[in-house]
Structure 1
């Protein structure tokens, strides 16, 4: 097929137009790429001109009352400004070299190079938290450092047990609440260093030197568990603190007499002892064989030796006469009850001097507790003669 001259001319013109359009499109694309590169370079230059942090601020740990400092190091600060704020409360503390908070314990310093330091004097518990160092760039740049304020332990008396009083056989629960940071550890010990009986009494319970925890349980308390207990709270911040809680165990008096029969030679002195265990404290007194209450004087000497819930009642009779021979009773009474015990005073004859010896002189034993001599094999089948036994004892003492 042959084309006319007009059609050929039209095709040539169309081809030239397409080529021109392609060249223009490529030129426009190259221009866009060049502009994007220029923008990237401009952004990079802006990034390089912005300030940056040199190093991490870091965290500080200190006890209450100490001074702390946080350092914010900035490179290429230029026209920008540094500010400090409390992160949790969003409170602005400083702007550049100006302190804007009303807290007189806060101050700011600059080393004239690139470090801005915030100082907190005499730390308080409320100073605990994180602090932000800000740069007023767009967008804002910031970094944080935290202050860990350690608080020494403190026992909350209103939430802890006070002195306790209970009857023997009852159980007691002692509590102790302490605050501080880090959270304190609580241990219990006896003030006198004696063991603590838990999970039962001293006969079948568990015996430990100390108990850890805010609660101390005394199960079926006995008189041996009476005393002062120390609740001790401690953490990593000295000093440790303690609270003293006294446990009173009430029980009726119990009296033990070690010698229920005492022998005495007339004219000598004799001492009678009664061992009492009781709490609360007892009213103690002696009665003679005529049920008369004995009072101190030239004839009688009364004394007591007290140690904890134990008391030794002591009666000393001077220049014993025949009228003093008989039964003496000791009494102990408190709010839990009354108890008594008796001691019999027995008259002994002075043994004759051994044959062939003159009169003996020297110290004279005036008290002679009655003890039976060991029977011989020949006399083991009949009771020992009391007079013979006394003679043997006195002969040995002489």
Structure 2
């Protein structure tokens, strides 16, 4: 029983060896057809194409004669070519091609479990309103970590595209997660062009001549905008940042439209406001007389007359 088992193992091993050798490609040797004495000829040893894709092979030309200038080529059609200096004595000399094969497995990487680590995740990001953006926070580790950034319950995965809005400014908590978790803070600043909300006028947009006026332009923008004005009169005073203008002793020349211009590197916006400066109202002399009574004498009302009578009566009562 033991002998039969041993023979079975031997037969299996022989079968495997024969099978391997049967599958190996057979090299081919080629030479020129017409070879002349005292001339050089080329001898080539090669393997058939597409039969040795998974094998590493070394080809040799076997002969007792001296070969020189051997050149090897690898790839889909491996071959080696040598030069043989032919003499008369070489008639019917045998040459053979020999192939030495080496095989190896496909390489496998050794993967070691490793906690996440951010490799490229800037502390500060600047986006522009309306443009397409994403978080580019790269992290390494094994298994490869997933990265996301969170703000106000909104989750943005690494590389996910979105359109930038103003309210996206703020601090984000970016996390890299595999079997462990690491996090870091990323501050986002969203820049946008100016938006003018109003022009505030004190005391009012309609005043009398001689009054003082203050106009203040209110604009929202990142980065903060620069201000300028178009005015109907140059007799005004600007504040330090040009956001405010002051008019002292307004005249009719200050009447008209005031245009505020707010501008930054992303855009410009304008808003205009009408300011009215009115002349003082002159009351005619006849109207003054009507208010005061005939001939400029103010009329006395009934209540005043009654009070006067009581005073006169009281005086007489105490005298007599």
TM-score where L is the length of structure 2 = 0.40
Q: Which has the larger radius of gyration?
A: 2
TM-score where L is the length of structure 1 = 0.33
